[in-house]
A and B are shown apart, each in its own frame.
Chain A
Amino acid sequence: KNEVEQSPQNLTAQEGEFITINCSYSVGISALHWLQQHPGGGIVSLFMLSSGKKKHGRLIATINIQEKHSSLHITASHPRDSAVYICAVRSDRGSTLGRLYFGRGTQLTVWP
């Protein structure tokens, strides 16, 4: 079983729709990352959070430490948001301190 589970695996939306991607994890963490990977492969870090909620433009990330769950929301989605979104958690365990565990990613396609 993967330490980080994401859903859905694939997501198609119409421009303007509200998008939610979910992430659940099973290890102790010091932080959770949401990453964006474009078709060329490069990865951009969108958020790093350890509690509560963060907002950047049309993107919102929330985390519930007790439930070991995080969500990434995109408001007013746009075709340029089309990418793979990856949830990654940073381990807080001694032998794996600092290591990132990755979800399999969510392929988002937004149609105009």
Chain B
Amino acid sequence: GAVVSQHPSRVICKSGTSVKIECRSLDFQATTMFWYRQFPKQSLMLMATSNEGSKATYEQGVEKDKFLINHASLTLSTLTVTSAHPEDSSFYICSAGRQVSNQPQHFGDGTRLSIL
């Protein structure tokens, strides 16, 4: 079946560092990728929707200058957390799919980000 690869799986870094997370669809072309954030024991929260070749659409309350999303190809989207602070520590997960397709979305394994 379709596979989405997300890297890195875990990041621990100092406050002020910028962190890049990659999401790759390995065996299909993902016209749309979604980035989610999940706090402990909470549901996934959509941060932004990324369409290949165009600017990402951010959800209300998500700072676009803080969370930079690039979707340069049909197989790769990146999320960069700029100047990360401890409050940015969370679990970030991507999914890939086709926004209007009846095919399911496929999720990456997530990235656990810890900012010291």
Whether B42 sits at the interface, judged by CB under 8 Å, is yes
Give every chain A residue within 8 A of B103 (Cβ-Cβ). Answer: 48
Q: Say whether B109 contacts A30, CB under 8 Å.
A: no
Q: Say whether A41 contacts B105, CB under 8 Å.
A: no
Minimal beta-carbon separation of B90 from chain A (angstroms):
11
Give every chain B residue within 8 A of A2 (Cβ-Cβ). Answer: 43
Task: Pick the interface stretch among A13-21, A71-79, A98-106.
Answer: A98-106
Most buried by A among B44, B109, B110: B44
A100's partner among B102, B105, B112 (CB-CB below 8 A) is B105
Q: Say whether A98 contacts B93, CB under 8 Å.
A: no
State whether A86 and B104 are in contact (beta carbons under 8 Å apart), knowing that A40-B109, A41-B110, A99-B49 are contacts in the complex.
Answer: no
Q: Measuring CB to CB, which residues of chain A are less than 8 angstroms from any residue of chain B?
A: 2, 30-31, 33, 35, 40-45, 48, 50, 86, 88, 97-100, 102-105
